[in-house]
Amino acid sequence: MKVATWNVNSIRSRLDHVIEWLRANPVEVLCLQETKVVDDGFPKQPFEALGYSLQVYGQKTYNGVALISRTPLEAVQCGFTPVLGAARVGDLDAQRRVIAGRCGEVYVVNLYVPNGNSLGSEKYDYKLTWLDCLKDYLAALLPQYPLINICGDFNIALEDRDIYNAADKATHIMASGPERQALKAVLSVGFRDGFRKFNQAGGHFTWWDYRAASFRRNLGWRIDHHYLSPQLYDRATACTIDLDPRGWDKPSDHTPVIVEYGE
């Protein structure tokens, strides 16, 4: 089974790219982030023509996540609220960033973690609050679903080797100490990095700024991840970054990451 994650930075702008990629890479589940479209406006027909079913959770202009699967998913839930309740979640589900569903034995959780904007800002505080809620959400899910694949755009490079130049990490959004500690707290619930099971080297990135020829010069960050529950981590057989789509005309600034696991 293969599951892919890809921040497409607008599904309407990148629809042809995603369809082309799926034709060449017919994964069982494709998790999209930053779809930037309301549910009724999501372009479903091209995916359905390829034999995929869709679960979408979007909003106009910002955010938005989608699950695209070869077989209809079960136990689909949007947002934190169905698991934790409105009292715990508050207004965190106003931004549509979480969608999850079961494909066979595997429960796939697709996330678009807030960026945080800048250290000390309201958006930064929101990001840390959101991550704390994510920890509680996953702690509640794990007893129900022992095989969980959390994936998406985490907007955090967890280690220095995940950044082309970590010199200013302490003051840089996506690499600051509080962000890293918040993500480590999330993972402490019982998840491990699928990519690092197979590759320990630095220099492997999933996001490159559009400026300064960053992709050509490989000035990137690894901020798109697959985190796996213990039983699923043991079954993982590969986790790869597909660089090709980032080099296409008018690409997303992210590229797909694919995890594969056996029975």
Q: Please tell me the distance from the alpha carbon of residue 233 to that of residue 203, in angstroms, as a whole number.
A: 23
What pLDDT sits at residue 263?
77
Tokens 């960053």, residue?
Answer: 214
Using DSSP, state whether 57 is helix, strand or coil.
strand
Using DSSP, state whether 138 is helix, strand or coil.
helix
What pLDDT sits at residue 169?
86
What pLDDT sits at residue 189?
97
pLDDT of 69 over the 90 cut: yes
What pLDDT sits at residue 152?
98
Cβ atoms of 34 and 9 within 8 Å: the answer is yes
Q: Please tell me the distance from the alpha carbon of residue 21 to that of residue 56, in angstroms, as a whole number.
A: 19
Strand 257-261 and strand 2-7: the pairing is: antiparallel
Strand 29-33 and strand 2-7: the pairing is: parallel
What pLDDT sits at residue 113?
98
Using DSSP, state whether 148 is helix, strand or coil.
strand
Q: Which domain holds residue 126?
A: 2-261
Q: Please tell me the distance from the alpha carbon of residue 28 to that of residue 4, in angstroms, as a whole number.
A: 8
Strands (DSSP E) found in 124-241: 148-153, 192-193, 207-208, 220-221, 224-228, 236-241
pLDDT digits (tens, 9 = 90+) for 19-66: 999 999 999 999 999 999 999 999 999 999 999 999 999 999 999 999
pTM for the whole thing?
0.98
pLDDT digits (tens, 9 = 90+) for 228-255: 999 999 999 999 999 999 999 999 999 9
Q: Please tell me the distance from the alpha carbon of residue 197 to that of residue 158, in angstroms, as a whole number.
A: 15
What pLDDT sits at residue 78?
98
Cβ atoms of 183 and 223 within 8 Å: the answer is no
Q: Please tell me the distance from the alpha carbon of residue 260 to that of residue 25, in angstroms, as a whole number.
A: 12
pLDDT digits (tens, 9 = 90+) for 148-168: 999 999 999 999 999 999 888
Query: In the chain, how many domains are there?
Result: 1
pLDDT digits (tens, 9 = 90+) for 79-135: 999 999 999 999 999 999 999 999 999 999 999 999 999 999 999 999 999 999 999
| CATH (domain of 140) | 3.60.10.10
What pLDDT sits at residue 168?
86
In sign, the C-alpha dihedral spanning 77, 29, 140, 143 is positive
pLDDT of 170 over the 90 cut: no
Cβ atoms of 97 and 56 within 8 Å: the answer is no
**CA of 134: how far to CAs of 74, 92, 160, in Å?**
21, 10, 23
Using DSSP, state whether 98 is helix, strand or coil.
strand
- % pLDDT > 70, the chain: 100
